[in-house]
């Protein structure tokens, strides 16, 4: 039996990455141990210095020096190994999207890890890689020769001061067109919303300031009228995503497919990046796919706690009649009760109470009701010997937590906190503070009561949110937290 295409592609890609000397790591300590055996102190210091300069200067010469250094043969495999899973995930997606091209440009190709792989996979497609780091291009050429790949050419080009060679029916850019990673894009209209009003003048100014306009214009100039651009940039932040999408849209590009978020790990850190855009100026695109809402992962508003805090949260949330109960038997916990319900039009919860006294609760926004209902229904059907494992998988370490009193009854740091805050019933505000700074920066904190719960809410115009809820026993802790946060904020702005 032949291996499925997906499997053999990943295997080929992994072998190719290994041929560059790249290794896969899942934990920091083994990676840094390996790094120390490969690189000496001076090399590491030079790298760190350049990294600092690059962050401070936000691009320019330091950026070129940085990529030149990264392309040094001793340094390359070590530092690019941090991107092992990135190359594996992006490589597979690009492979699937590129098949119909005949001339492909990879802008900001770096040392050509992806470009040479794709060229090797598609010998009938002609690839061109450009980058402003001369050392990266020199390595890209050497590696293409080493792999005997003939259908790729590499050029040193600094865009926009030097023109791009040729014309293409596919243009690729992976983490090259939208630099200035520290900039989070335009702010939202206020701390209560994620919306950004459209102003052409502000859009143009920001595109110029962040170097996006000259790069996109240069790419558009070499793309054939019915060609496609495939772009994977650091646009995980909503403001950056909106700025980027609007930059594409105002140049007449439409998504050909739904933009695709890609998750990969960088050593032990999970990164969800992108999305990957495939856009075209041809009529087939669909502008309705330009979504300007914050990303939401199902379940991201769920929060768990156990013990006394869970029992008190449970008794407050269950005050509402809107709930379902079920009995189940577990080997470890004995007879248990599971309650599922909604609290007002703000929260959904699933409470687990064992006769032995153990309690745990999951609380989230109303959008999580379907996930909680699934858990409830699965538990109801489950034989006793599976219940223990399911409960342990759902609440994990919380069930053994010793400092349970320190935990709030609910906490949410995602954009989903906003809808919950808005839906909190009968809010009685006790204290609040709002601050407006330059360039649309503003933030707001408040502390108050919502029926029997106390709440703390913090929001700004760069999409950060924090909502904390406690029962009466946590009031002092939350009040102190509000005062401390206020002090910190005032110190920052004074
Ligand atoms: C983060 S690296 C990405 C490299 C490669 N695309 C990848 O995915 O591994 C960004 C690359 O873009 C190149 N780059 C950035 N701005 C550029 C410009 N204006 N002209 C040419 N290359 C540029 C940098 O030199 C660097 O090699």
Kindly report the pTM of this predicted structure.
0.90
Q: Are residues 440 and 402 in the same domain?
A: no
Q: Which residues contact 10 (CB under 8 A, 6 or more apart)?
A: 88, 92
Alpha-carbon distance of 313 to 32, in angstroms, equals 43
Q: Are residues 250 and 336 in the same domain?
A: no
Report the nearest-CA residue for atom 13 of ligand 1.
Answer: 108
> How many C-beta atoms surround the C-beta of residue 108 within 10 A?
21
Could you give the dihedral angle defined by the CA atoms of residues 327, 329, 330 and 333, in that order, rounded to the nearest 10 degrees? 70
pLDDT in tens, 260-293: 999 999 999 999 888 999 999 987 778 888 999 9
Q: What is the CA radius of gyration of the chain?
A: 26
113 Cα nearest atom in ligand 1 = 9
Alpha-carbon distance of 423 to 348, in angstroms, equals 12
From 132, 135, 160, 180, the mutation candidate for ligand 1 (largest count of ligand atoms within 8 A of CB) is 132
The residue-averaged pLDDT of 407-433 equals 96
pLDDT in tens, 426-448: 999 999 999 998 888 999 999 99
Query: From the CA of 132, how far away is ligand 1's center (Å)?
Result: 7
Q: Are residues 95 and 26 in the same domain?
A: yes
pLDDT in tens, 50-65: 888 888 877 678 899 9
Q: Which residues contact 361 (CB under 8 A, 6 or more apart)?
A: 304, 305, 306, 310, 313, 314, 317, 349, 350, 351, 352
Of 65-74, 177-186, 316-325, 367-376, minimum mean pLDDT range: 316-325
Query: From the CA of 87, how far away is ligand 1's center (Å)?
Result: 15
CA distances from 65 to 50, 60, 132, 425 (A): 8, 9, 10, 56
For residue 119, the enclosing domain spans 5-289
Alpha-carbon distance of 327 to 338, in angstroms, equals 6
> Has residue 295 been placed in a domain?
no
> Has residue 296 been placed in a domain?
no
For residues 282 and 229, the answer to whether their CB atoms sit within 8 Å is: no
pLDDT in tens, 349-370: 999 998 888 889 999 999 999 9
Q: Are residues 396 and 414 in the same domain?
A: no
- Residues across the chain: 494
Question: What residues flank ligand 1, with Cβ below 6 Å?
Answer: 67, 108-110, 113-114, 131-133, 136, 157-159, 174-176, 179, 215
Greater confidence, 355 or 219?
219
110 Cα nearest atom in ligand 1 = 27
pLDDT in tens, 296-348: 889 999 999 888 899 999 999 998 666 788 999 888 888 999 999 999 999 99
> Has residue 158 been placed in a domain?
yes
Beta-strand relationship, 152-156 and 168-174 = unpaired
- Choose one of 289, 323, 348: the last residue of a domain: 289
> Has residue 294 been placed in a domain?
no
> Has residue 265 been placed in a domain?
yes
> Has residue 183 been placed in a domain?
yes
> Has residue 30 been placed in a domain?
yes
> How many C-beta atoms surround the C-beta of residue 359 within 10 A?
24
End-to-end CA separation in angstroms for the chain: 70
> Token pair 């790419």 is at which residue?
219
Of 4-8, 65-69, 133-137, 226-230, minimum mean pLDDT range: 4-8
> Token pair 């538990």 is at which residue?
379
- Choose one of 362, 390, 406: the last residue of a domain: 406
Q: Are residues 189 and 330 in the same domain?
A: no
Token pair for 402: 């010793």
- Choose one of 406, 422, 438: the last residue of a domain: 406
Q: Are residues 98 and 214 in the same domain?
A: yes
Q: What is the pLDDT of residue 402?
A: 59
214 Cα nearest atom in ligand 1 = 19
Using CB atoms within 10 Å of the CB of residue 289, give its burial: 0 to 12 exposed, 13 to 18 middle, 19+ buried: middle
Q: Are residues 285 and 430 in the same domain?
A: no
CATH number of the domain that 55 lies in?
Answer: 3.40.50.150
Q: Are residues 173 and 281 in the same domain?
A: yes
Q: Are residues 392 and 378 in the same domain?
A: yes
Report the nearest-CA residue for atom 24 of ligand 1.
Answer: 108
Alpha-carbon distance of 21 to 72, in angstroms, equals 13
Q: Are residues 216 and 357 in the same domain?
A: no
> Has residue 298 been placed in a domain?
no
pLDDT at 407 over 90: no
Structural domain count of the chain: 3
Alpha-carbon distance of 89 to 24, in angstroms, equals 13
For residues 39 and 75, the answer to whether their CB atoms sit within 8 Å is: yes
Of 172-176, 178-182, 277-281, 468-472, minimum mean pLDDT range: 178-182
pLDDT in tens, 192-207: 999 999 999 999 999 9
Q: Are residues 338 and 455 in the same domain?
A: no
Q: Are residues 118 and 159 in the same domain?
A: yes
Q: What is the pLDDT of residue 282?
A: 86
């Amino acid at each position: 039996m032949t291996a499925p295409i997906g499997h053999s592609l990943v295997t080929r890609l992994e072998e190719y990455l290994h041929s560059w000397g790249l290794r896969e790591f899942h934990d920091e300590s083994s990676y840094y141990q390996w790094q120390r055996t490969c690189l000496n102190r001076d090399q590491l210091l030079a790298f760190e210095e350049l990294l600092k300069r690059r962050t401070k200067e936000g691009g320019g010469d330091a950026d070129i020096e940085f990529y030149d250094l990264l392309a040094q043969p001793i340094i390359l495999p070590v530092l690019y190994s941090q991107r092992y899973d990135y190359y594996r995930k992006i490589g597979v997606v690009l492979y699937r999207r590129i098949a119909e091209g005949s001339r492909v440009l990879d802008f900001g190709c770096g040392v050509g890890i992806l470009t040479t792989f794709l060229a090797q996979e598609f010998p009938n497609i002609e690839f061109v890689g450009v980058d402003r780091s001369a050392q990266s291009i020199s390595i890209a050429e050497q590696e293409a020769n080493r792999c005997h790949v003939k259908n790729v050419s590499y050029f040193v080009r600094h865009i926009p001061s030097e023109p791009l060679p040729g014309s293409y029916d596919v243009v690729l850019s992976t983490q090259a067109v939208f630099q200035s990673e520290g900039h989070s894009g335009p702010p939202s209209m206020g701390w209560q919303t994620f919306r950004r009003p459209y102003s052409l003048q502000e859009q143009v100014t920001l595109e110029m300031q962040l170097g996006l306009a000259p790069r996109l214009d240069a790419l558009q100039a070499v793309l054939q009228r019915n060609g496609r651009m495939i772009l994977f940039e650091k646009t995980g932040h909503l403001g950056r995503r909106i700025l980027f999408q609007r930059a594409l849209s105002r140049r007449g590009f439409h998504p050909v497919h739904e933009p695709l978020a890609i998750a990969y790990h960088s050593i032990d850190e999970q990164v969800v990046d992108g999305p990957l855009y495939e856009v075209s100026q041809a009529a087939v695109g669909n502008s309705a796919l330009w979504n300007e809402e914050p990303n939401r992962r199902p379940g991201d508003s769920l929060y768990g706690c156990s013990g006394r805090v869970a029992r008190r949260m449970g008794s407050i949330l269950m005050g509402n009649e809107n709930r379902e109960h079920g009995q189940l038997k577990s080997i470890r916990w004995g007879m248990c009760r599971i309650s599922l319900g909604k609290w007002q039009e703000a929260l959904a919860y699933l409470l687990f109470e064992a006769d032995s006294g153990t309690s745990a609760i999951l609380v989230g926004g109303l959008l999580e009701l379907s996930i909680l209902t699934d858990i409830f229904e699965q538990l109801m059907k489950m034989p006793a010997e599976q219940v223990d494992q399911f409960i342990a998988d759902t609440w994990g370490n919380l069930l053994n937590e010793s400092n349970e009193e320190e935990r709030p009854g609910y906490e949410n740091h995602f954009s989903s906190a906003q809808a919950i805050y808005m839906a909190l019933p009968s809010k009685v505000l006790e204290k609040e503070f709002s601050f407006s700074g330059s360039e649309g920066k503003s933030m707001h904190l408040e502390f108050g009561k919502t029926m029997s719960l106390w709440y703390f809410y913090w929001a700004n115009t760069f999409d950060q949110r924090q909502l904390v809820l406690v029962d009466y026993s946590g009031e002092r802790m939350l009040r102190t937290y509000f005062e401390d946060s206020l002090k910190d904020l005032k110190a920052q702005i004074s």
